[in-house]
Amino acid sequence: MSALGGGHAGGDGMNPVAAVVGLVLLILALGIIYVLSPGMAFMALIGVIIGGVMIGFGVHFVPVGGAPAAMGQSPGIATGVTMLAAGAGLAGLFGGAWAAELGFGVALAGGAIGGGLMMAITCLMVNVVYVYAMGIPAASGKVAKDPITGDTFEAYKSKGTEGHGLPFISYVGGVIGGMLGGLGGTLIYLELLAVYEAFLPAALNAQAEQIVPLAVGLAGIFAVGLFLINAVLAAYNITGTIEGPHDPKFKRFPRAVVGCAVASAVCGLFAIILVVI
């Protein structure tokens, strides 16, 4: 029971009523855009939903230990789930937006690599601080053995803690999470940019070249907003800390996928309807 006397908050299951309400909202959002503009805008909304789902799924890979990790009491990176995922995903968005003129595929890959590179450097520096400044080797609290390297952890765990540091599986999870975040954020940006570049000249009665700065700014800020919405939703699903793909909490991701799809559809609807009407 929660402190407010509500139902059970955690667990892996999906509330059937909430799932049906969510799916109705999703179909409604898609239906509205289909009626208003069945071609490009409809496809853009589908792209936004896929991007949002990628962000929500990617956040589950990021090893976040929160406050206990800062005291070496639990493994992971000592910051918030949303915070870190947003940092990596937005660094990816920076790279993806820069490569937008080189084509869809290059931009998406550039965004994914930008997010992955940010996480690769951050996770390395976290381990450097743990090892060289604090003298603490990595030890997972959730699994006895690293699924990739086969390292055992029990003997390295300090007494009275749930483990500490960043085992290799968490490092790889962080990089994958950053890549998915960067990919999703860039996909949302590119889809919205295409819609704004197509519809804004007619809406504002202006030349296509004149609206480019406005289209880029609008698509960028909506992409950042949608990124934060999906990252926060996934963080609520995780409830606190997660070690990465080997953590039992990782199995909760289907619930986040549904939640992020619905949230992205509704928010994407507003982002697109702004210029389509």
* Sites for another protein among residues 101-130 (CB under 8 A): 102-103, 106, 109-110, 113-114, 116-118, 120-130
Q: Does 79 bind another protein (CB under 8 A)?
A: yes
Figure out which of the listed residues 9, 31, 221, 270 binds another protein, where binding follows CB under 8 A: 221
Chain centroid offset of residue 163 CA? 25
- Give the number of residues in contact with another protein, rule: CB under 8 A: 81
Residue 157 tokens read as: 């765990």
Figure out which of the listed residues 36, 80, 197, 240 binds another protein, where binding follows CB under 8 A: 80
Q: Which is nearer to another protein, 171 or 253 (CB)?
A: 171
Nearest distance from C-beta of residue 218 to another protein, angstroms: 10
Nearest distance from C-beta of residue 231 to another protein, angstroms: 11
Nearest distance from C-beta of residue 56 to another protein, angstroms: 18
Q: Does 93 bind another protein (CB under 8 A)?
A: yes
Cβ pair 220, 97 in contact under 8 A: yes
Nearest distance from C-beta of residue 23 to another protein, angstroms: 31
Distance between CA 167 and CA 136 in Å, rounded? Answer: 12
Q: What mask of x and - would describe binding to another protein in positions 139 to 158, judged by CB under 8 A?
A: ----------x-x---xxxx
By the 10 Å C-beta count (0-12 exposed, 13-18 middle, 19+ buried), 102 is classed as: exposed
Figure out which of the listed residues 51, 56, 66, 181 binds another protein, where binding follows CB under 8 A: 66
Scan residues 179-208 and list those touching another protein (CB under 8 A): none
Nearest distance from C-beta of residue 151 to another protein, angstroms: 7
Stretch of 2-10, 18-26, 63-71, 194-202 contacting another protein, by CB under 8 A: 63-71
Distance between CA 45 and CA 265 in Å, rounded? Answer: 7
By the 10 Å C-beta count (0-12 exposed, 13-18 middle, 19+ buried), 144 is classed as: exposed
Stretch of 4-12, 31-39, 163-171, 243-251 contacting another protein, by CB under 8 A: 163-171
DSSP 158: P
